[in-house]
Amino acid sequence: MSTKENLKELVKQKYAEIALQDKETNESSCCGSGGCTTEVYNIMSDDYNQVEGYNPDADLGLGCGLPTQFAKIKKGDTVIDLGSGAGNDVFIARHETGESGKVIGIDFTSAMIEKARNNAEVRGLNNVEFRQGDIEKMPVTSNVADVIISNCVLNLVPDKVNVFKEIYRVLKPGGHFSISDIVLEGPLPADIKSAVEMYSGCVSGAIQKSVYLELIEATGFKNITIQKEKSIIIPDDILINYLSKEDISSFKNAGPGIFSITVYAEKPEACCGPDCCN
């Protein structure tokens, strides 16, 4: 099994465990990855309580932003949520699309799919659907989505190039995405970068912010905009598991940054004449 496949299997196992935990347990762990400070949850997550369509039962406390807040979802839109978990952002998106729209959640963890489907059934929502699959090869036909959203998921995927290519394929011409994710500015210490728990905990799988944005542009997206950005501070009681006190001091003084960003970009409109693609 390749390193990428190992990492994907690791994330699948960890998030299968998270699906069986309640929100309080996840909130007291590092993105659900194991016992550590509650500060990470408080710093990484955003407050959903005032968001229309929010259902606390579907919120496992695993996000790092509010992509639906910036996604410009309209009534009747078809929306796809990548890494939909228990359905939190799907249900919020469904509130925006109304009964005339459709929302599809994609997750590769069977326990999450089951949990999300149960949540949808309880709420009697007939225009939401949850499909099990890999977001590097989405179980969706091309040119079907008006909007794609995702919340703190792409950083967990080893091959982000494939994901952005798939997003481009699945979006309709003129469609757009709004994605919240973790990115870096400057190097992370090797002990943190390679730590299994930190990978499942949304940090060590992150790439440089500049590279992230370059991947989006190289895929062909236009009007790339950072809609929101906030700094992520890893508390000392987490860092001490991976670094010495001296290394922690050096890490902080070196100034590498960990950020949650929400990024917007558009797929260009389809060509409408012989010269429009030149």
The pLDDT profile of the chain, 278 residues, written as one tens digit per residue, is: 456 666 666 666 666 666 565 555 544 444 444 444 444 444 566 667 777 877 777 777 778 889 999 999 999 999 999 999 999 999 999 999 999 999 999 999 898 999 999 999 998 998 999 999 999 999 999 999 999 999 989 988 888 999 999 999 999 999 999 999 999 998 877 777 766 566 656 676 789 999 999 999 999 999 999 999 998 877 788 788 888 888 888 877 776 688 899 999 999 997 655 455 54
In a domain, 123, yes or no: yes
- Residue 171: predicted pLDDT: 98
Which domain range does residue 144 map to? Answer: 3-266
In a domain, 278, yes or no: no
In a domain, 213, yes or no: yes
In a domain, 277, yes or no: no
In a domain, 218, yes or no: yes
* Domain CATH for 10: 3.40.50.150
In a domain, 103, yes or no: yes
- Residue 40: predicted pLDDT: 44
- Residue 19: predicted pLDDT: 57
In a domain, 273, yes or no: no
As for how many domains the chain has, the answer is 1
Which residues, other chains included, contact 29 with Cβ-Cβ below 8 Å and sequence gap of 6+? 35, 36, 41
In a domain, 171, yes or no: yes
- Residue 31: predicted pLDDT: 46
- Residue 210: predicted pLDDT: 96
